[in-house]
Structure 1
């Protein structure tokens, strides 16, 4: 009798878990797949050939065949370009639109072969962002090329989980390095020859500098500028982008991040955000690279909204990168966000587009405030934690928690348990009728 009761309890518990899991799993898969989903067409865009000044050092940001994290790619690029002291290019194994986080398609300036033909040897600095296929065979064109550049004397800067790209190429063996706090345990198991460091924004190990998560890449890039150009140039670059956390000479203090109870917000948003916002992002000529990154990475990393690029033709950013929109202005979306402070023509059929960068400050500030206002404060705080961006100075106003997304699995669990209990009740009635 006791065994039967235990089996019934287990059946109720499993039913309560099965329904939310069955309905939530596809949403989780869809949310993560959308982050670096490639475009569905095979459009060909050829940007203008970049210029080269042999009197300047050359810095390149490498993008994988399956894309890269948008902030890891564009923030270092803009910082290096802002100094005016470098030839700065984006490079990849192929010159075609490559997806950055959230569906922002970048056309690299050069292929690996074209870069070699242009400068006649390895670049002085190679920035390695996180890539969605790290550790897989598809990264081999990148890892083989990185090994060649390292052997040629290039300074390597990994951003976020770009450190795992270097580790997979064997370029961090016997070295100290860091990466995003969410995956350090994984990298310790996968790449045990690396001495992984926690609780720091970057690790300077001579000819390799590695940074922690996403916006810690700003600190690592400023360290590169400091070493190669000078302290004043690094300070000027930090001011130019609105980064108030610059810490000359050493990494800024950072509390080691860990998962907390409040971080469950991302699970509810990812699995049960069935009415996730669809945000159109209008691409305009002259937009800042960090302004673009702030929009696509903030909404994307929140997993509470999806972004799609809007525009009628390729655009060139402030420092000359080429981006290709995915749909024209007639596509359907819930809200329109316009990165940057560049004026633009009104968009037909859209009222009051969001301009997150028309107020002064670091570009991510306005986007995080909009995220809090349109989703909830807990989601905005989680996103800032993933971005590794201090937000004590921000006034985040909005709902405190995604209550609808939280109640959905509870309601599904209750429904699943109720159905099983109803089934048991019907069985009991059937037995009673047969006995009578």
Structure 2
């Protein structure tokens, strides 16, 4: 048997020592970062849903949230667009009525449970929007899949946003159909759901009674297309203008350059694994705030994995958004655990809490995500802001970003840990060599 040369063993040992500390500590930090995105509240708060107004003369559109939450922009952007038109009854629905966490810890009280919606309408909803759910493909998502099948059988127009396509695919609703999804996950879905004809390079795919959209903010284009179909192109154009969406194309899906993971995108790994000093931004919830304005803060920071968010409000009392959704803050702004305070809303009043730096990202006109991405760049770096825009599928090339080009301090952390691991291994070898040998 050929023996492995001692020098090879030594080199491999030092290599493993160099990797051990960065991998071990990075894994702990990454687990914490991903766990924060859908962390459920622990105080047991369960306020009643907001009162509903229902006009039987209007079609009803619903946005589904799962038992364990949903991506915040996938949920709130379609909701605001549909509500802005005034042409629909628009509700959020869930398997149960308790608050559910949207990305970043924004707790939404669903308007209706599935059973309550069925009793209200006595039939399927006209439009069902399906966002990405954190438990897609798991047994806990089965009630959602079963309910979606009943809605489809009743004639609903199903609209998936981003990885909501996986929810439809898991329910068997996309077999034999063309569909799209987020660029980062579509290859995996192609392997997992081979009966679906997965399409790349477009913001949405219209297959009649099912519309699927690409990543996150591509859901805006898909929802505007729904408005086109059911309320007319003029209503869609007005809705796009109302939310500041500059990328609306009437009648057809805007082309989309299919994204791929590039070397600069490794910044997300640095943020996830080695940003040990992740700051906490309090997000002040106020009555009348726009749904997309809220989504822009929680999703930008949440997708960056560089900043933690905490929904706050005076007395942690529930608030109502511009179109009537109910949200429940998790803490009072004076809780003492915040590094700064962000106040979403173009109409937000001035607020001051215990000397906290207060940021108003929507004071300047434009799409709600612009100011938040610029703030992310300023407080972290341009690479993080550009990665986040890429994940959001938001065309941000014309944004002025004023942060540093790259997070060099973060880059040095895994390198420093690798050097420390090698030195530790070297020290152990020296100690071993000096230890007296038994006769």
How does the TM-score come out when normalised to structure 2? 0.97
| 1:351 Cα offset (Å) | 3.9
Q: Tell me how far apart the structure 2 counterparts of residues 33 and 135 of structure 1 sit (CA, whole Å).
A: 18
| 1:130 Cα offset (Å) | 0.1
| 1:199 Cα offset (Å) | 1.4
Q: Tell me how far apart the structure 2 counterparts of residues 335 and 329 of structure 1 sit (CA, whole Å).
A: 10
**Contact kept? 2:215, 2:392, Cα under 8 Å:** yes
Q: SS at the partner of 1:209? A: strand
User: Does 1:284 find its partner at 2:265?
Assistant: no
**Contact kept? 1:336, 1:350, Cα under 8 Å:** no
User: Does 1:330 find its partner at 2:334?
Assistant: yes
Q: SS at the partner of 2:282? A: strand
**Contact kept? 2:97, 2:113, Cα under 8 Å:** yes
Q: SS at the partner of 1:148? A: helix
Of 375, 379, 388, the match for 2:380: 375
Q: Tell me how far apart the structure 1 counterparts of residues 291 and 50 of structure 2 sit (CA, whole Å).
A: 18
User: Does 1:215 find its partner at 2:220?
Assistant: no
- Give 1:392's aligned residue: 397
Alignment of 1:129-208 (within 5 A): 129-208=131-210
**Contact kept? 2:180, 2:205, Cα under 8 Å:** yes
- Give 2:345's aligned residue: 340
Q: SS at the partner of 1:150? A: helix
**Unaligned segments of structure 1, at least 5 residues:** none
**Contact kept? 1:126, 1:154, Cα under 8 Å:** yes
Q: Please list the CA deviations of residues 102-147 of structure 1 after superposition, one character each: whole Å capped at 9, or x if unmatched.
A: 0000001111111111122111000000000000000111111000
- Give 1:321's aligned residue: 325
| 1:379 Cα offset (Å) | 0.1
Of 94, 97, 109, the match for 2:96: 94
How does the TM-score come out when normalised to structure 1? 0.97
| 1:426 Cα offset (Å) | 3.5
**What count of residue pairs does the alignment treat as equivalent?**
434
**Contact kept? 1:329, 1:347, Cα under 8 Å:** no
| 1:2 Cα offset (Å) | 6.5
**Unaligned segments of structure 2, at least 5 residues:** none
**Contact kept? 1:201, 1:254, Cα under 8 Å:** yes
Q: Please list the CA deviations of residues 215-251 of structure 1 after superposition, one character each: whole Å capped at 9, or x if unmatched.
A: 0000000010011111111111111000000011111
| 1:179 Cα offset (Å) | 0.6
Distance change in 2, residues 1:26/1:398 (3 Å):
same
Q: Tell me how far apart the structure 1 counterparts of residues 49 and 347 of structure 2 sit (CA, whole Å).
A: 21
- Give 1:9's aligned residue: 11
| 1:348 Cα offset (Å) | 2.8
- Give 1:67's aligned residue: 69
- Give 1:126's aligned residue: 128
Root mean square deviation of aligned Cα: 1.4
Q: Tell me how far apart the structure 1 counterparts of residues 353 and 430 of structure 2 sit (CA, whole Å).
A: 58
| 1:392 Cα offset (Å) | 1.4
Q: Tell me how far apart the structure 2 counterparts of residues 242 and 356 of structure 1 sit (CA, whole Å).
A: 14
User: Does 1:239 find its partner at 2:241?
Assistant: yes
User: Does 1:42 find its partner at 2:40?
Assistant: no
Q: Tell me how far apart the structure 1 counterparts of residues 54 and 12 of structure 2 sit (CA, whole Å).
A: 68
4+ runs deviating over 6 angstroms = none
- Give 2:229's aligned residue: 227
**Contact kept? 1:71, 1:294, Cα under 8 Å:** yes
User: Does 1:349 find its partner at 2:351?
Assistant: no
- Give 2:424's aligned residue: 419
**Contact kept? 2:50, 2:324, Cα under 8 Å:** no
Q: SS at the partner of 1:222? A: helix
Q: Tell me how far apart the structure 2 counterparts of residues 166 and 351 of structure 1 sit (CA, whole Å).
A: 44
Q: SS at the partner of 2:322? A: coil
Q: Tell me how far apart the structure 2 counterparts of residues 372 and 197 of structure 1 sit (CA, whole Å).
A: 32
| 1:405 Cα offset (Å) | 1.1
**Contact kept? 2:78, 2:223, Cα under 8 Å:** yes
